[in-house]
Structure 1
């Protein structure tokens, strides 16, 4: 009977960790997406400096959580997002509206998909 309880406890801990990771990934990427949306609005108003600042804050948040992201997420996904942040930085510096808008939309989608992969759903399980 002790083995059953030990197995149930281990399963509960793993389930709790999985649910926490899904919640945390959603919270982390959601904050970055909000900053990138605000940056997009700033570029529409012609405030490229403000957009660069908000994008830099989103990138800094990514950097601050790099260990977590590289341990628990697929490296190919995190590398792709890092490249997208770098491209976004260049488009902001050049004030290229069309390229910036496309790159920003792609980056936000990548962040959404990263969080979505961690959510417990039938699509992710099977």
Structure 2
């Protein structure tokens, strides 16, 4: 995740905490007292400026009678680029494709080569 994506997660977490707090009818002072935090910490958590530790997030969910799932934003992971599609003709050296196009360790390379050799012998 990029720093911007991480920041976005904490901003969303803070907004969800604020909404849950308001749904309970709590002020920031009340929530701070329940958590043994300062009001300033609650302000900063709700704005996304402070990144609470996991145990603090768990305590917040308990005090606000809400699930962690409701507080935590959905994860948005970027999909990795798919492996390049390589057209293989009958005369292509599979070893070169594996070593040139796809970065793999020797054990994986050997397994791929063994698979292709086995597949080729069945053709």
Which category describes the TM-score, using the shorter chain as reference length?
A: 0.3 to 0.5
- Determine which structure has the larger helix proportion and give its number: 1
Task: Say which one has the larger Rg.
Answer: 2
Give the TM-score of the pair, scaled to structure 1.
Answer: 0.32
Higher relative contact order (CA 8 A, sep 6+): 1
